Chain A
Amino acid sequence: MTASSNRWHFNAIAGYSLVGAIALIAVVAVFWTPYDPLHLSVRNKLQAPSLAHWLGTDELGRDVASRAMAGAATSCWVALLSVLFAVTSGTVIGLLAGFIRGWTDRIMMAFNDTLLAFPGILLALAIMVIVGANQYGIIIALGLAYAPMVVRVVRGSVLSIREKEYIEASVMIGNNPVVTMLRHVLPNCVAPIAVLATSMFGWVILSESALSFLGLGVPPPAPTWGNMLSGSRSYIQSAVWLGLVPGVCISLTLLGVNLLGDHLRDRLDPRIQ
């Protein structure tokens, strides 16, 4: 009993510290980085980590530490907004489809399943082409690409929750459907949404890097962890730190977000406390 609650405690602290540290770095990077992340210096290219350049320099002589810091700001901002967009739109549609049922549900779900049948990255690619390759285009593209998954999960929970007797009790009390939906159905769907949102955060960071690799991500030379990772590919044997730095950044962020997500899910569930 005590052992497991200690472990939970530890996980929560680890999650908060990781996410807090990354958020702090991202905020600092907006105002200050050790070097200008865009400054080219061909003479200093591909230097190993040293006192002057803590994490070395890349193929164009840019400081990797500065780029990783600036990348934290862009990558996390893009991922956060995309996930928020996907979760909000997906929850609204899933809630409506599951609660209203009937033809509304059938039409919404047919459309949703069509979107779901496309690989997320392909869908994002198509949307990017339409909205244009910039930071906000990518947020819309990734948000739309990941929303169908949220719709599925939310609709599933709504379908099971709306059969519970407390929903019927709410109808008998005289609550209108909107109140029933917001007060009795939505709060009971929070756990699966929280879990999905935190794992989605990771997928979105990776998808953003894939899009950058295809030249449709956040446009260069602005650094993101994704385009740093894809740029490092050619130097994997000569300059390991180029891939290692953004890779470790992404891993730590995902670890932190997932630990935080688990903790939030438990905190939000009165049955577990």
Chain B
Amino acid sequence: MMTTTSSTMMAGPTPILRVRNLSVSAIASGAKLTDAVSFDVGAGEFLAVVGESGSGKTMVARSVLGLLAAGVQVDAGEILLGDESLLKATPKRMRELRGGTVGMVFQEPMVSLNPAIRIGEQMAEGLRLHTQLGKPEVEAACVAMLKRVQIANPLQCMRSFPHEFSGGMRQRIMLASVMLLKPKLLIADEPTTALDTLTQLEVLDIMVSLARTDGTAVLLITHNLGLVSRYADKAIVMQSGKVVEAGEAKTLLRSPRHPYTKQLVDALPKRGNKVVGDVDLQPILQVKNLVVNYPGRRAGWFTKPVSNRAVDGVDLTVNQAETVAVVGGSGCGKTSLGRAMLRLNSAASGEILFRGQPMQDLNGNALHDFRMACQLVFQDPYSSLNPRMRVADIVAEPLNHTAMGHDDKMQLVAQVMEEVGLNKLGQRFGHELSGGQRQRVAIARAIVRRPAFVVADEPVSALDMTIQAQILALFAELQRAHQFACLFISHDLAAVEQIADRVIVMQSGKIVEEGSRDDIFDRPQHAYTRALLAARMAT
């Protein structure tokens, strides 16, 4: 494997970054985090490092930057930036290189910009540290760079604070402040994982065009194979600290040779079989002309806050055993719609019918009965489980509201834990489980009472690709077994394609297109649907 790596990658002129046989290990346990990793990145070249959480891909990036966590050390190998060995560089020299010659963009645009400092000052900070430019030149450079990342009003942007921007804009600003110093190498660690599909493309398109123009080498760390196929020239695939496959990105994805790469490629969502047949459909939950408001900012102390429409006149029917996907970018109202359907937030007007009965004005016992038949699965498996309860207790809790005896309960809990693939883990706490396992617990809690209707709000967006595939498969299987109706909320069309029967596309609180999955994916009518489909990462 190592020989193929070298031969394919040594083709161009002297590469900007050469990593040779890099081995990193944890000092205390001696566990190898990366094992003899080698690769090259040339000027203007885009190399993707692909792998799941824990595969050691972030360790590689951190060793290049000299930012390994305490308790982790480099055992062997060499990292050459141009002709300079980074492992032998002094801390002072590393500080000069970091930011100046090697730029970095991190995953969370919410935390990588300092919320207390104006954008202009944050951008200027790097230039002041690494160059001798005067104030007017610094400002001119910032404005020019913000224009290049397509910020509409650069001067106003520089006077603003980070919280005034959306995630995508923040990540573009972050990119601008990094590229301002014209680094030779840009390291991007999962730069778009926290963003929705359309925004991901926007940010990466800009990143690629900036890098190409300035001749910057890019090292992209990601778990998303779709992004790799779309942007990367070369890719290396990592598993448990080892490079298992390396080569041209396109070839690697089209004809993977290593079993693990094959597994990753197979985990890319594919169109699944239809869950329901064409039997006569029974509507479980319907909404008619639903409007949901959320309070906006107050203009003055004594005026009423102006409300904004989150959901603006939506009609929707979900039939028994059917999966209806609601798709749209962040802020399109899809989450508000799902929550209003469960009466978790109140609708301003419109009707909600459950098995033909109006639900919008219920409260007390009647609302409780409705809740008994509905459930919700959340996006973030890290905050949806009470950290002080054991898994079995979490799954058993919904049964407290049924008339079941203790033994029956325990039996049902055991059965459901087995169904979701978690048997023997009942005595663990949530924090002792992986993200995928936690999401399984959340699903078990949702289905233990055999609900008729489940809202799944972005249930897989926080998970690795292979785990996503497993959770989606589990969901489909459970739905086949228990015949519940499902409203699947997602920004990720790939996941939707795998699981949905019908698709609803939302934009600014309104449904812009509705149809069967095949119609939407094969014959999209609305321009927004087409844009979303184009953003879907096809291999």
Contacts and interface: CB of A to CB of B under 8 A. Distances in A.
Grouping DSSP codes into helix (H, G, I), strand (E, B) and loop, the B interface class, with mixed when no group exceeds half, is mixed
A271 B429 contact: yes
Nearest to A268: B388
A270 B429 contact: yes
Contacts, number: 57
Contact of A174 (B384, B385, B401): B401
B372 interface: yes
B375 interface: yes
A172 B400 CA distance: 13
Contact of B387 (A168, A172, A188): A188
Size band of the A side of the interface? 10 to 19
Contacts of B384: 164-166, 169
Given A270-B429, A271-B387, A168 B378 contact: yes
Nearest to B448: A173
A1 B28 contact: yes
B387 to A, nearest CB: 6
B398 interface: yes
Contacts of B374: 172
B380 A165 contact: yes
A112 B397 CA distance: 35
Interface string A170-193: 111111000000011001100000
Query: Which of B342, B378, B386 is the most central at the interface, judged by chain A CB atoms within 10 Å of its CB?
Result: B386
Contact of B344 (A164, A166, A172, A173): A172
B452 to A, nearest CB: 14
Contacts of A170: 386, 397
A59 B203 CA distance: 80
Contacts of B388: 187-188, 270
Nearest to B455: A172
Contacts of B372: 174
A166 B383 contact: yes
Contacts of B28: 1
Interface in A179-221: 183-184, 187-188
Interface string A252-271: 00000000000000000011
A58 B22 CA distance: 73
Interface in B385-425: 385-388, 397-398, 400-401
Contact of A166 (B375, B385, B429): B385
B445 interface: yes
A170 B383 CA distance: 13
A164 B383 contact: yes
A165 B429 contact: no
B371 A172 contact: yes
A102 to B, nearest CB: 14
16 contacts: A164-B383, A165-B380, A169-B384, A170-B386, A170-B397, A172-B344, A172-B371, A172-B375, A173-B401, A173-B445, A174-B372, A175-B397, A175-B401, A184-B386, A188-B386, A270-B429
Given A165-B378, A174-B372, 10 more contacts: A164-B383, A166-B384, A168-B378, A169-B376, A169-B445, A172-B376, A173-B398, A270-B387, A270-B431, A271-B429
Which 4 A-B pairs give the minimum distances between C-beta atoms? Answer: A165-B384, A165-B378, A173-B398, A166-B386
